[in-house]
Amino acid sequence: SQKIEQNSEALNIQEGKTATLTCNYTNYSPAYLQWYRQDPGRGPVFLLLIRENEKEKRKERLKVTFDTTLKQSLFHITASQPADSATYLCALGAAGNKLTFGGGTRVLVKP
Amino acid sequence: DTGVSQNPRHKITKRGQNVTFRCDPISEHNRLYWYRQTLGQGPEFLTYFQNEAQLEKSRLLSDRFSAERPKGSFSTLEIQRTEQGDSAMYLCASSLTGQSGVEQFFGPGTRLTVL
C-alpha cells in the first residue's frame, strides 16, 4: 500500500539556522509533490509545488528537492525565524489533484 | 474574506446522532475536496467534486458518510449514526482545474467530537 513518511519527531532549531525536513514515499508514482504549512487549529496553507520532472524549486527562504529515484523530497527553511514554527506537511498528487498527505513534521524555531 | 469557509467550526454530538457540515469554497473554484484529520496525523482524503459531480470517494469512507454539492457551489458532508471514531477535524479545500498540481486552498475545518 502507499506510504508517505515524515519524521514524526519535532525538529527543534535555533533561529538563523537551516531546517531540513524529509518526506519519503513508497508504492507511489506521484506526478507532483506539494508542501504545506499548518498552524494549530487551522487548515493547511500551500507553500511549494515540485513536479516529477523537476529537481529543485525555490521560493524566498524555502527550497524543495525531489528525487524520484530515491522516492524522497527534502524541504529546507533557510535563515529560520520563530515565525516559521509550525507543522509542515508533504503531499503527493496524482490524477484529479487528489492529495495524499504525510503525517507532518513539527518545527520549533527558538530565538 | 474570500477564502474557504466552513460551518460550524466546532460540533459536539452524542454517539448515534447525525451531523452535517457545510463548506463554501472560493467562488470561482470548480473543484472541492473533503479531508479528515486526526491529532498528529496528516489530512486523509475522503472525496472530491468537480462542479456538482462527485468524482471519487475514498474506499475508507463508510456508507454512513455522504457528501453533496448540489449546484456546484457549496458542499455538505453528512455523517449518519456517528461513532466515537468519527471524532476528527473535517477539512474542506477548493481549487481550480487546470494543469496538474494546482494548489488547494483549505478552510479552517470543523472539529467534531462524538461523546
Kindly determine whether residue B103 and residue A46, on different chains, have CB atoms separated by under 8 Å: yes
**pLDDT tens-digit map of A65-107:** 999 999 999 999 999 999 999 999 999 987 667 899 999 999 9
Using pLDDT thresholds of 50, 70 and 90, give the confidence band for residue A2.
Answer: confident
Q: Are B56 and B47 in contact (CB under 8 A)?
A: yes
Q: Is B98 on the interface with A (CB under 8 A)?
A: no
By CA distance, what is B91's nearest residue in A? A43
Kindly determine whether residue A99 and residue B101, on different chains, have CB atoms separated by under 8 Å: no
Kindly determine whether residue B42 and residue A51, on different chains, have CB atoms separated by under 8 Å: no
Query: CA angle at residue A31 from A90 to B4, to 5 degrees?
Result: 55
Q: Is B33 on the interface with A (CB under 8 A)?
A: yes
Higher-pLDDT residue of B74, A95 = B74
At residue B42, the pLDDT reads 96
Q: For A58-106, what is the HEC assignment?
A: EECCEEEEEECCCCEEEEEECCCCHHHCEEEEEEEECHHHCEEECCCEE
Using pLDDT thresholds of 50, 70 and 90, give the confidence band for residue A27.
Answer: confident
Residue B77 burial (CB count, 10 A): 22
B101 pLDDT exceeds 80? no
Q: Which A-chain residues 58-87 have CB contacts (< 8 A) with chain B?
A: none
Looking at this protein, which amino acid is placed at residue A23?
A: C
Q: Is B106 on the interface with A (CB under 8 A)?
A: yes
Q: Mean pLDDT, chain B, as a whole number?
A: 93
At residue A36, the pLDDT reads 98
Residues facing A1 on adjacent strands: none
Q: Is B108 on the interface with A (CB under 8 A)?
A: yes
